[in-house]
Amino acid sequence: MKHNPDDRRDNAERIQKNIGATLRKMEAADELMAKTHDEKKERELREKNERREEALRGMRREIKEEAEYSRRQGKDPSGRE
């Protein structure tokens, strides 16, 4: 099996896009929660947003790690050189 090299050129950009998409989904869920009268649906949306918040913390940690990696490599953390 061939080992793939650690290609991190677009990691920060990809993670940032994922953060933006997650935030948009959270906002949409908040809007739905404000409109629904279904307690089960509201609970499900709230639980989903809690999981999304946890995922956001992880993605933000990853961004910091990528920035540190890029600094050590002497590169722009956005993936541009």
Confidence of residue 1 (pLDDT cuts 50, 70, 90): low
What value does the mean pLDDT of the chain take? 88
**Is the pLDDT confidence value at 6 over 70?**
no
Give the start-to-end residue ranges of the domains of the chain: 18-71
The predicted structure's pLDDT at residue 9: 73
pLDDT tens by residue, 17-51: 999 999 999 999 999 999 999 999 999 999 999 99
Residues 24, 6, 2, CA angle at the centre, nearest 5°?
120
3-state SS string over the chain? CCCCCCCCCCHHHHHHHHHHHHHHHHHHHHHHHHHCCCHHHHHHHHHHHHHHHHHHHHHHHHHHHHHHHHHHHCCCCCCCC
Average pLDDT of the segment spanning 1-6: 64
Query: Distance between the two ends of the chain, CA-based, in angstroms?
Result: 31
